[in-house]
Amino acid sequence: MLFAKEVYVERRALLRERVGHGLIVLMGNNDSPMNYPANGYKFRQDSSFLYFFGQHRDGLAGVIDCDSGQEWLIGNDIDIDDIIWYGTVQSVSEMAHEVGVAQSLPMSALTELVAAAQKAGRKVHVLPPYRYDIKIQLGDLLGEHPLQVKASQELIDAVVALRSVKSGEEIREIEAACAIGYQMHTTAIRLCRPGLSEQYIAGVIGGIASSYGCITSFPSIVTQHGEVMHGYPSPAPLQEGRLLLVDAGAETNGNYCSDHTRTSPIGGRYTQRQREIHDIVADCHDLAIQLSKPGVKYKDVHLDVCRLMTSRLKELGLMRGDTEEAVQAGAHALFLPHGLGHMMGMDVHDMEGLGQANVGYDSETRPSSQFGLASLRMGRTLQKGFVVTDEPGIYFIPALIDLWKRDKICEEFLCFDKIETYKDFGGIRIEDDILITDDGCQVLGEERIPYRAAEIEEFIAQQND
C-alpha cells in the first residue's frame, strides 16, 4: 500500500459520486502464466484496482455500491500450503481494513453480489478487461462471451477524470521512477560501444530497473534500427558509426512509471548527417516544452512540432513546398508516423486500456484518421497535474518510403531522391516526461539525462576518460 488509507477512501468516494448509480466491480489481476500454469511472469496488479484499492495481492476484486455506499474487498484467504510456498500474508479482511474498506468476502460471493444487482435491474459497471482470465471471469459473471464483455462508459469516464490529474504524492513517485530511468539511460549511453550487443545493454538496464524498482515500465526498446518504432533488442553486436536508440522506463515498487528515449552515437561521435537530424529532433522536443501549458491542446503542440520539423527538413532538402500545406496533408508523417506523446502515470501509456479516445481526447478534440496523426495518443486540452511524454522523432523507414514513393503519396512535399539516400540512416527519438504546472510545464526527474548531441558526446567522452 503506497499511500495513506485516507487517499484510497477519498478516491473511492469521488468515484462513487461520479458514477452515480449501480455496482462498480474493479477486478485485480491474477498471475499470468508464461510457459505453464505455475510459471508466471512477474505479478503486476491492475492500475485502476491499485488506484482505488491499493493492494498488491493476486486474486482480489473491489466492489463499490454507488447507491448504498457499501464497499467490499473480495478475495480468498490463503491456507497452510500457500504459507509454505509463498510465505505468510495478510488476510483479506486485514487488507480491506488497511485501505478503509469495511467489508470483505470470498471470491465466490462476487457472483452473488453481481447476480443480486442484475436481478434488481441495477447496472453493473466494469472496465474493459485486457487480460484473458479476467475476460473469462467477467464473461461468466455477466453472462457474456469472454471477448464481448461490455465496459461501462460512465465508469471509464470517471476513472479517467480522476487518474488524469496527478497529486503531489503521485508526482513524487513518478520522480522516483525518473531517477531509476536516469541510471538506466546514462548506463546505456555509457555502454553504447562497438562490439557490445543490443541485448546485452537491454539486459543491463532491465537489471537496473528491477534492482531499484519492480520492473521496466514496458519491454525496453534498444536498437540500431531506430526506424522500427518498437524494435526489440537483438544479440547482434553494435556497429561503429550507427545510432543506438534506447526507449526505456522504470516502474517503482509502488507502480508509477518513467519513460525516456535517447539516441546515442555508437563509438562516441555523431556524423554530420546524424547531428543535423538529431538537432532537429532536439529543437522539436524543446518547442513542445515551450508550448505545453494548461489550456493548450496537445494536438496543437503536436502540429506545431510537425511544422518546425517540416521547415527544418526543407532546409535539408528532404521536404519541399509550403510548410502549412505539407503538415495539413500529413507529409511529415513519412518521417514521424507517431504522435508527440501520451499520458503517463501508473501505466506508461496511462489508462491506455480504457481506450485512447477516452483518455487522450474529449468532446472538443476528437481523434484523427490521418496517417501519423491517428497515432497521436494524447490530443486534448492540457490541465495542471497532467503528466505527458514529449517524444518527437525522425525516422527513415525503407518499406514506408518505397510505398509512398510508389503510390506518389504527398510527392509534392517529399524529395524522394534525397530521402532515398537516407534509407540506411535508422531513426532518432528524444523523449522526456513533463508535468503540466500552473502556467507551463516542468521536465520530471531531478537530474536531466543528457539529450543534446553535444551533451551526449561530452558525457561519453567523460566516461571514457
Contacts of a second copy in 70-109 (CB under 8 A): 80, 83-88
The answer to the question of residue 236 lying near a second copy (CB under 8 A) is no
**Pick from 12, 44, 166, 242: which binds a second copy (CB under 8 A)?**
44
Which pairs count as long-range contacts for 86-91, CB under 8 Å and 24+ apart, including other chains?
Answer: 89/57
| Residue whose C-alpha is closest to residue 149's, from 133, 162, 164, 163 | 133
The answer to the question of residue 416 lying near a second copy (CB under 8 A) is no
- Collapsed DSSP state (helix, strand, coil) of residue 64: strand
Of the two residues 22 and 28, which places its CB atom closer to a second copy in the complex?
A: 28
What sign has the CA pseudo-torsion 49, 149, 164, 175?
Answer: positive
**Pick from 7, 47, 278, 425: which binds a second copy (CB under 8 A)?**
47
**Segment lying near a second copy (by CB under 8 A), choices 97-105, 199-207, 284-292, 302-310:** 199-207
The answer to the question of residue 170 lying near a second copy (CB under 8 A) is no
Q: What letter does residue 143 receive in the DSSP assignment?
A: T
- Collapsed DSSP state (helix, strand, coil) of residue 21: coil
Decide: 222 and 185 in contact? Cβ < 8 Å. Answer: no
| Residue whose C-alpha is closest to residue 318's, from 355, 273, 376 | 273
Residue 227 CA to residue 334 CA, distance in Å, equals 11
In the complex, the smallest distance separating the C-beta of residue 346 from a second copy, rounded to whole angstroms, is 8
In the complex, the smallest distance separating the C-beta of residue 324 from a second copy, rounded to whole angstroms, is 25
**Pick from 10, 20, 106, 130: which binds a second copy (CB under 8 A)?**
130
**Pick from 235, 363, 438, 446: which binds a second copy (CB under 8 A)?**
235
H/E element holding 290?
A: helix 272-291
Count of residues in contact with a second copy, rule CB under 8 A:
65
**Pick from 337, 339, 393, 426: which binds a second copy (CB under 8 A)?**
337
Residue 451 CA to residue 285 CA, distance in Å, equals 10
Contacts of a second copy in 359-398 (CB under 8 A): 397
Decide: 234 and 427 in contact? Cβ < 8 Å. Answer: no
- Residue given cell 521536465 in the structure block: 443
Residue 104 CA to residue 411 CA, distance in Å, equals 64
Binding-residue pattern over the window 202 to 221 for a second copy, x denoting contact by CB under 8 A: xxxxxxxxxxx-----xx--
**Pick from 12, 16, 56, 135: which binds a second copy (CB under 8 A)?**
135
Residue 213, beta-bridge partner list? none
In the complex, the smallest distance separating the C-beta of residue 447 from a second copy, rounded to whole angstroms, is 20
The answer to the question of residue 424 lying near a second copy (CB under 8 A) is no
The answer to the question of residue 183 lying near a second copy (CB under 8 A) is no
| Residue whose C-alpha is closest to residue 449's, from 283, 227, 291, 259 | 259
Binding site for a second copy (CB under 8 A): 32-42, 44, 46-47, 80, 83-88, 130-133, 135-136, 146-147, 199-212, 218-219, 225, 228-232, 235, 253, 337, 346-349, 351-353, 397, 399-400, 403
